[in-house]
Amino acid sequence: MRRLLLRAVGAEEEVEEEEGWHQLYPSHIPTSPLQKALLAAGSAVMALYDPYRHDMVAVLGETTGCLALPNLRDKMKHHPEGYRILQERPCIRLSTLDMSRLRGLPDGSLGREYVRFLEDNKVSPDTRMPPKFVDDEELAYVIQRYREVHDLMHTLLGMPTNMLGEVVVKWFEAVQTGLPMCVLGAAFGPVRLSARKLQVLATELVPWAIRSGLNASCILNVYYEQRWEQPVESLREEIGIFPPPAVRM
Amino acid sequence: MAAVRLCRCRCRALLSRVPGAPRALRGLAAGPEVHFGFQSVTEEDRREKIFRLFFSPPRGDRPQRGNTTQRLLRHERFEVNCVSFSCPYFFCSLPVYQVFESVAKKYDVMNDSMTLGIHRVWKDILVHKMNPSPGTLLLDVAGGTGDIAFRFINYVRAVRERQLQRKLKHHQNLSWQEIFENYQEDKSDSLGDSQVVVCDINREMLKVGKQKAQHLGYSKGLSWVLGNAEELPFDDDMFDVYTIAFGIRNVTRIDLALEEAYRVLKPGGRFLCLEFSHVSNPLLSRLYDLYSFQVIPVLGEVIAGDWKSYQYLVESIRRFPPQEELKAMIEDAGFFKVDYENLNFGIVAIHSGFKL
């Protein structure tokens, strides 16, 4: 309590002396509960006001995930593959991916489809925001893993990166992870869609996403880096994702 | 394109000369330990950190992608981080290229939100205290986005208007033709030879200032100069008034900046400094600290995407010399009749001195 008060009034040096600067990981910024509350509110407003502030979405996820993240971490701990991921802490980065090898894999395999997805949409796995406001080093890794796996979700669900595809993935993730940020995104995302797309969303895509989300095992419990050769369909079946409906996105 | 590249090279040469030159001239070493917020660094490091604060885009912790695009857009002459990220809400993977604005563009917005608009009142009070008459030559250092310069111009214009009106009142029997001619010739002289030179170390801030000037319709009497407060690119005894508003805190060697201020002022010239200072009232001080450390970095993160710069800002305010100490430093530089005025119980103070 005293620490919090001292930090609140900026007596950083006293706090430092007491416990050593508790920066738990390189991008960590320790924050007080008041700051987290302000950040959560501010980032929610800003993300709605300026949809291009993806960093605000990330901050919202970090500051509101205090219940969902430990749940996710426990799910990972109690699963053999998830446990291995927590121990080994793999990162999906351009530096760790062997792009030429992945490109050489047969069509329909996870690796090939993932690279195709990255190239078609001109994106790279390196632009994920590192976690800043999570006050536990392991949970910070969990949320980072979630962000890295997000692109793979697009590949597995067969959803493009337009607004509609994003909303669908968010629905799936909301059911899977329970992160408040996903729930909010799923709820507010459709606001900017056209009527036709809303109809497709409501009648076909969202029910499918929810069913798949409920049926599938935890998506963070899959060691994707060791399954590049596996065909996408086979992986879908294994996880429990139903085949995507054939709609024009 | 080649011309732009050449220009950039020259600018870079100028800029790289600026931080290095004072050291070479004055034989400074990489330096004794100085503070950067609550950290302790060498002088050299501090200059570079502060330099980078204003130059590098916020949200700079994010790794950059799209290097080709970055090269292509370099001619825009400010740092461009091209990030493709998702359809806005979900940082997924839609290739939406966005230019990350530098601190400069968000500077005014941040000022308004941090101080709830009160900074405008502080700057108004500064210019009123200055009470410039037409014909004054003002040097506004670290005045990048032009707030003081624009207020100065407005003030001088208003004074000039009143002068003209008074002059015309004394002429009793003017024909309409003569009145019309009077207005015509005086209209072209609305500033009465007053001039403002805005000097800033940061090109982006000057750029934003120029854009603002254009947008608000200020064209005459303004110059924009890139320069370092510790080594001003001006001759001795040039200016009537020297102001530095919320800039002296970022100067590594305040004593050098004060000496430079003394040098470039004419005899009879006035030095004015508007800066955050120390609150002596204990209750208010606690509340102020609470607001500073809890709210301001959050505002920085939400509005500008930059927690660290604004954490640095509040720490640097705490480290800045209090009113009496700054007064002593100004006197050491050679100024006379040095005085200060607290605004808002010491949250901000205006120091004033004269070169005699």
pLDDT tens column, A49-102: 887 788 898 999 999 998 999 999 999 999 999 999 999 999 988 888 888 898
Residue B328 counted as an annotated binding residue:
no
Tens of pLDDT, residue by residue over B130-154, are 999 989 999 999 988 899 999 999 9
pLDDT of B72 strictly over 60: no
B229 is annotated as contributing to ligand binding:
yes
Contact B88 A42 (CB under 8 A): no
Q: Does residue B269 lie in a domain region?
A: yes
Distance between CA atoms of A143 and B328, rounded to whole angstroms?
Answer: 52
Q: Decide if A169 contacts A157 (C-beta within 8 A).
A: yes
| Residues of A in Cβ contact (< 8 Å) with B65 | 124, 126-127
Cα–Cα distance measured from residue A159 to residue A162, given in angstroms and rounded to the nearest whole number: 8
- Average pLDDT rounded to a whole number, residues A146-174: 88
What's the pLDDT score for residue A234?
Answer: 93
Q: Which residues of B touch A130 (CB under 8 A)?
A: 61-62
DSSP per-residue letters across A33-73: HHHHHHHHHHHHHHHHH-TT-HHHHHHHHHHHTTTHHHHHH
Give the number of other CB atoms < 10 A from CB of residue B121: 13
B79 is a domain residue: no
pLDDT of residue B77: 31
* Residue A197 forms contact with B (CB below 8 Å): no
Residue of B170, B2, A77, B216 lying closest to B208 (CA atoms):
B216
Residue in B297, B186, B12 with CA at minimum distance from that of residue A38: B297
Q: Is a pLDDT exceeding 50 seen at residue B10?
A: no
- Check pLDDT > 50 for residue B282: yes
Domain with B226, as residue range(s), is 98-277+320-355
pLDDT exceeds cutoff 70 at A2: no
B329-341 mean pLDDT: 96
Q: Predicted confidence band at B189 (pLDDT cuts at 50, 70, 90)? A: low
With CB atoms and an 8 Å threshold, state whether A55 touches B293.
Answer: no
Instruction: Report the chain A residue with the minimal C-alpha distance to residue B98.
Output: A52
Domain assignment present for B45? no
Average pLDDT of chain B? 78
Give the pLDDT of residue B78: 30
**Spatial separation of the C-alpha atoms in residues A200 and A168, rounded to whole Å:** 11
Measured between CA atoms, how close is B84 to chain A, in angstroms?
A: 6
The pLDDT assigned to B44 comes to 74
Mean pLDDT, residues B321-349: 95
Residues of the binding site of A for Zn(2+): 150-151, 154, 166
In chain A, what residues touch B90 (CB-CB under 8 Å)?
A: 54, 57, 166, 169-170, 185, 189
Sequence-ordered list of residues with C-beta below 8 angstroms from that of B17, at least 6 positions apart, any chain: none
What is the per-residue pLDDT for A185?
A: 85
* Angle, helix B103-115 to helix B203-216, in steps of 10 degrees: 70
Q: Which residues pair with B84 in a beta bridge?
A: B97
Q: Please name the amino acid found at residue B182.
A: N
Q: Give the H/E segment covering residue B196.
A: strand B195-200
CB contact under 8 A, B89 and A51: yes
Q: Where are the domains of chain A?
A: 27-239
* Assembly ipTM: 0.82
Q: Which has the higher per-residue pLDDT, A185 or B18?
A: A185
Out of A165-169, A174-178, B288-292, which region has the weakest mean confidence (pLDDT)?
Answer: A165-169
Chain A residues close to B98, C-beta within 8 Å? 52
**Does B167 map to a domain?**
yes
pLDDT at B18 over 50: no
Higher local confidence (pLDDT), A76 or B28: A76
Q: Is B63 on the interface with A (CB under 8 A)?
A: yes
Total count of residues recorded for chain A: 249
Q: Is the pLDDT of residue B67 over 70?
A: no
Interface membership of A92 toward B (CB under 8 Å): no
Q: What is the largest CA-CA distance in chain A?
A: 61
- The nearest CA of chain A is from the CA of B79 a distance in Å of 17
Q: How many domains does chain B have?
A: 1
Average model confidence (pLDDT) across chain A: 86
How far apart are alpha carbons A88 and A212 in whole angstroms? Answer: 28
Percent of chain A with pLDDT over 70: 92
d(CA A5, CA A206): 46
How far apart, in whole angstroms, are the C-alpha atoms of residue A125 and residue A152? 10
Q: Calculate mean pLDDT across residues A207-230.
A: 92
Query: CA of B288: which chain A residue's CA is closest?
Result: A9
**At residue B337, does pLDDT exceed 50?**
yes
**What pLDDT, in 10s, does the model give residues B100-131?**
345 677 888 888 999 999 999 999 999 999 99
Give the Cα separation of B317 and B289 in Å (integer). Answer: 10
Closest residue by Cα to residue B140 from B209, B51, B69, B45 = B209
Torsion angle of C-alpha atoms A54, A58, A63, A67, degrees rounded to 10: 130
- Whether B38 shows a pLDDT value over 90: the answer reads no
A27, A53, A99, A146, best to mutate vs chain B, most B CBs in 10 Å:
A53
Contact A166 B297 (CB under 8 A): no
Q: Is B84 helix (H, G, I), strand (E, B) or coil?
A: strand
Indicate whether B16 pLDDT > 60: no
